[in-house]
Amino acid sequence: MIAHIVQSTEALMSNFLAEANEIQGDLVAIRRHIHQEPEIGLDLPKTQAKILAALDGLGLEITTGKALSSVTAVLRAGKSDKTVLLRADMDALPVTELADLPFKSQIDGAMHACGHDLHVTMLIGAAKLLVKNKSQLNGDVVFMFQPGEEGDDGAGHMIKEGVLTASGRKADRTYGIHVMSSQIPTGVFTTKPGTMMASADEIHVTVVGLGGHGSQPHTAKDPIPVAAEMVSALQLLITRSFDAFDPVVITVGQFHAGTKANIIPDKAEFQATIRTFSPENRDRIKIEAVRLCESIAKGYGLKAEVKVVEQYPVTVNNDVQAEFVGKVAADLFGNESYMDMPHAIAGAEDYSRVLEAVQGSYVFLGASVDQDFTKSEVNHSPRAMFDDAVMYRGTALLSELAVRSLSEMV
């Protein structure tokens, strides 16, 4: 009996890989069509229309979002009460594409610089393969096509609109793939148990003083040096108050004050991104950063208006599911096509919200166009390029994860 199950699983994996390879040409055409018309934020009508056209005729139960241009599709197998959710983000970035491609963006100021066009296409491919192999499914599959990952919390919106219970019950497992234009060898998958990506929040600080003439600073309350001291003090805070093995990153990306060299302004403003790798430090830094800025301002007789803008939580993989993803990837493509991720990265993801609610794992897929992937432009660069030859691999992995996870839960 055990031998029969092993043989069936091996045959199924071989079929998915071969079938994904057969539709690779179609996937490339879909991806490049999406790439040429990138859309930003939560309202992505053209991208949504392309997804709906690609899913047409598959017999899926499809709903679209109310507050955003999402697509949720349900494949019902009806063999159990289990559900697996597969996710892809849809949105582009406000970047003007400089990559020299025949299918480069036709929209000024918008580009798929983070590979979400590949994510959408791989999930479309998985939908096609799983519909074709519906008899192999021991449960239902939800396909989550999500706008607004790049700072608009599309996952949060979709969760509010019921994506986690789209099959009629809460999803039991979830998986998603993110391509990388550099840092990972092309075609290689990598993930890790536990924390995989950081949380992301922002701190907005306005230091309120009293303006005056630059020649007479003693008659004013200059907010600029006080704000500058806060910027430095925040770096001391994270290096002297937080464990180096559970780090905190604060980067000031905006600093604005004044109109002319000899005028002391009434106020100075700066904004910073905050990255943490544990929920505990995320909660702690938000309190201590506010306290620090307020106390520095008070010490100089000024006032600090400090606001923390919460964005995305820490992306945490379920330990068992991360190991499961690694095993399935190695089974499908060989041990050389999977490597353990050595450490978490400081990027952030709203898929973290799904992983907070459902056991699962995120996985990266190398998609560099260069032989030396370490020299490729990184995600978000206007020159970033992604090798769409890897898409059949992502499609096959998502399909296999759905089938095997549902089989193991029954």
409 or 265, which is more confident: 265
pLDDT (mean) for 115-132: 98
pLDDT computed for residue 354 by the predictor:
98
Q: What's the chain's average pLDDT?
A: 95
Percent of the chain past pLDDT 90, that is, above it, reads 94
Q: Are strands 338-340 and 189-191 parallel, antiparallel or unpaired?
A: parallel
For the chain, the C-alpha Rg in angstroms (whole number) is 24
- Give a three-class secondary structure readout of 156-184: HHHHHCCHHHCCCCCCCEEEEEEEECCCC
* High-pLDDT (> 70) share of the chain, %: 96
Residue 189 pLDDT level (bands cut at 50, 70, 90): very high
Q: Where along the chain do its domains lie?
A: 2-194+314-409, 199-312
CATH architecture label of 2-194+314-409:
3-Layer(aba) Sandwich (3.40)
Residues 391-398 have a mean pLDDT of 98
Ramachandran sector of residue 139 (left: φ over 0; alpha: ψ -120 to 50; beta: rest): left
- Angle formed by the axes of helices 116-132 and 45-55, nearest 10°: 20
pLDDT of residue 14: 52
- Please report the pLDDT score of residue 409 as a whole number: 87
pLDDT tier for residue 4 given thresholds of 50, 70 and 90: very low
pLDDT tier at 11 (50, 70, 90 boundaries)? very low
**Lowest mean pLDDT, pick from 3-17, 128-142, 148-162, 322-336:** 3-17
pLDDT at res. 410: 65
Give residue-wise pLDDT tens across range 101-114. Answer: 999 999 999 999 99
What is the mean predicted confidence (pLDDT) over 204-225?
Answer: 98
CB 399 within 8 A of CB 126: yes
Could you report the per-residue pLDDT of 17-50, keeping only the tens digit for each?
Answer: 999 999 999 999 999 999 999 999 999 999 999 9
CATH topology of domain 199-312: Alpha-Beta Plaits (3.30.70)
Select the more confidently predicted residue: 278 or 78: 278
362-373: pLDDT as tens digits: 999 999 999 999
Q: Report d(CA 374, CA 372) in Å as an integer.
A: 5
How far is residue 370 from each of residues 51, 341, 350, measured CA to CA in Å?
A: 29, 21, 29
Q: Does 61 have pLDDT greater than 80? A: yes
